[in-house]
Amino acid sequence: QVQLVESGGGLVQAGGSLRLSCAASGVIFRTNTMGWYLLPPGKQPALVATVTSDGSTNYANSVRGRFTISRDNAKNTVYLQMNSLKPEDTAVYYCNMRQWSGTFYEYWGQGTQVTVSS
């Protein structure tokens, strides 16, 4: 019903920057939350950042001040500007959307690899 397509990952040096994007298509309701998560094996999804359709943001403490999440509601697209990257940021970043229309729906993107070298 909803497809999330991610792009923007890659290999960068420590201290560098990347900008991830995630475009949603399908049946998108006006109120929703989009964001970025890590999916560590055997554990619950780990928050990186989320943003609601009205602009409220939430960040993991480890990225606050370095990463900025934003969205374009007209394009149903969410972005993650990643600055001052550290090797420990290396991971697959997954886009997520949550929305409610009688039933709670959650969707995941395919993941995009971010690798930060030292």
- 101, pLDDT greater than 90: no
What is the rounded average pLDDT of the residues 58-80?
96
Nearest CA-CA partner of 34 in 48, 13, 16, 18: 48
**What's the gap between Cα 35 and its chain centre?**
4
- 50, pLDDT greater than 90: yes
- Residue-level pLDDT at 62: 97
CA distance 98 to 4: 12
Gap between the terminal Cα atoms of the chain: 40
For the chain, give the longest Cα–Cα distance. 47
Mean pLDDT of the chain: 96
Confidence bin at 61 (pLDDT 50/70/90):
very high
